Amino acid sequence: MGERGDDSRPIDAFLDALWLDQGASEHTLSAYRHDLTAWQARLVERDAGLFEPGAEALPEWLDERRRAGYQLRSNARLLSSLRRFYRWALAEELCDADPLVEVRLPRVHARLPDSLDEAEVERLLEAPDIDAPLGLRDRAMLELLYACGLRVSELVGLRQDSINLRQGVVRVLGKGDKERLVPMGEEAQRWIERYLRGGRGQLMDDIRQAPLFPGRRDGFMTRQTFWYRIKHYARLAGIDKPLSPHTLRHAFATHLLNHGANLRVVQLLLGHSDLSTTQIYTHVAQARLEALHAEHHPRG
């Protein structure tokens, strides 16, 4: 399937998807762009296409980089960037097969995403002006996002009938249209009830419309709009850490583990189909176990 060799549009589209769907930071996006642009430039020099690079193109380049003194971690990151790009390209039907399927990835340890501590989360949640309908909506959204560990795309896609206040759960449609039930917790449930009694009706011309958290014209809010709202409230709360659309999702997982949850529970709540995806949080759980051991063991 042919894109012109030096056409950057597939790379731009991939980076947009990475930011919107998975909450990649600016630093991560810059690293991906650097790797993918360098890979594309090398292919152009060899009259190869981005989606038809040839079986030996990457192994040869990795060998050259090793001889030039690049560290294992650098090559591993490069290969990880390209693998992720081609998986996305396959899903988008931009190519017929993954050209890197036979290339082995060096083993490196995953890095835990940036997160917020519990005091910072409290400041962020308290930032909206709850006397205004928009502020009440945003407070309810932030509370639900943190209480349930939702992806931003899952949050803005919630319908009014996704919430069951009697059972205290939210029905979430995740990746691959997989549905899961996630408990809200009393605090988030209280804010959702307050929002439904007041703010939602003031924001919608017709409250029978589906979106739980409407954007403009009673329609579903976009992920970009809510991300801008998060950044606005972070500034109000005096939080100057790097943030991503997944920041509260990472805080949700980290804080659960800090308070004794196990990885399997966190996996189910996050909607990860494979426990290996959740294992970026392993060292959080390990640190918790070490702290408990030190506190309770007679020789700790």
The strand pair at 179-183 and 169-173 is best described as antiparallel
Residue 228 annotated as catalytic: no
For every residue of 145-211, DSSP letters joined together read HHHHT--HHHHHT-BGGGEETTTTEEEEE-GGG-EEEEE--HHHHHHHHHHHHTHHHHH-S-TTSSB
The catalytic residue among 123, 159, 180, 272 is: 272
CA separation (Å) from 231 to 21, 79, 245, 252? 17, 32, 9, 18
CATH number at residue 132: 1.10.443.10
Does residue 218 belong to any structural domain of this protein?
yes
**193 and 68 in one domain?**
no
pLDDT band at 21 (very low <50, low <70, confident <90, very high): confident
- pLDDT mean over 77-93: 87
Does residue 296 belong to any structural domain of this protein?
no
**147 and 252 in one domain?**
yes
Of 165-174, 224-233, 273-282, the poorest mean pLDDT is in 273-282
Give the pLDDT of residue 257: 73
- Is the pLDDT confidence value at 294 over 80? no
State which of 91, 110, 138 marks the end of a domain. 91
Of 9-23, 106-120, 140-154, the poorest mean pLDDT is in 106-120
Across the chain, the runs of DSSP E, i.e. the strands, are 163-164, 169-173, 179-183
**201 and 55 in one domain?**
no
The catalytic residue among 77, 229, 249, 250 is: 249
Question: Which amino acid, one-letter code, is at 268?
Answer: L
Does residue 133 belong to any structural domain of this protein?
yes
Above pLDDT 70, what percent of the chain? 82
**265 and 126 in one domain?**
yes
- pLDDT mean over 97-106: 72
Does residue 215 belong to any structural domain of this protein?
yes
Does residue 97 belong to any structural domain of this protein?
no
Give the pLDDT of residue 276: 55
Does residue 58 belong to any structural domain of this protein?
yes
**278 and 168 in one domain?**
yes
Q: Is 0.85 topped by the overall pTM?
A: no
Give the pLDDT of residue 210: 83
Question: Which amino acid, one-letter code, is at 139?
Answer: R
Does residue 248 belong to any structural domain of this protein?
yes
- DSSP single-letter state for residue 101: T
Give the pLDDT of residue 24: 75
State which of 91, 126, 160 marks the end of a domain. 91
Give the pLDDT of residue 300: 45
| Backbone φ and ψ of 169, nearest 5° | -130, 160
**Alpha-carbon Rg for the chain in angstroms:** 22
- Is the pLDDT confidence value at 2 over 70? no
Closest Cα partner for 248 from 139, 157, 133, 163? 139
The catalytic residue among 151, 200, 223, 255 is: 151
**170 and 69 in one domain?**
no
Does residue 104 belong to any structural domain of this protein?
no
Closest Cα partner for 201 from 212, 187, 189? 212
The answer to whether the beta carbons of residues 211 and 161 sit under 8 Å apart is no
Residue 272 annotated as catalytic: yes
**72 and 166 in one domain?**
no
- Is the pLDDT confidence value at 261 over 60? yes
pLDDT mean across residues, the chain: 80
**26 and 122 in one domain?**
no
The catalytic residue among 175, 178, 232, 235 is: 175
Residue 151 annotated as catalytic: yes
User: What is the extent of the structural domain holding 77?
Assistant: 9-91
The catalytic residue among 139, 246, 250, 255 is: 246
- Tally of domains within the chain: 2
Give the pLDDT of residue 19: 86
Residue 246 annotated as catalytic: yes
Residue 42 annotated as catalytic: no
The answer to whether the beta carbons of residues 209 and 217 sit under 8 Å apart is no
Residue for token digits 């060899």? 46
CATH number at residue 14: 1.10.150.130
**270 and 177 in one domain?**
yes
- DSSP single-letter state for residue 109: P
**125 and 84 in one domain?**
no
pLDDT digits (tens, 9 = 90+) for 196-230: 988 888 888 777 788 899 887 778 888 889 989 99
pLDDT digits (tens, 9 = 90+) for 137-148: 999 999 998 888
**87 and 122 in one domain?**
no
Token pair for 219: 């329609």
CA separation (Å) from 258 to 79, 126, 287? 32, 22, 8
Give the pLDDT of residue 297: 52
CB contact set of 47 (below 8 Å; sequence gap of 6+): 5
The catalytic residue among 32, 146, 195, 281 is: 281
**68 and 144 in one domain?**
no
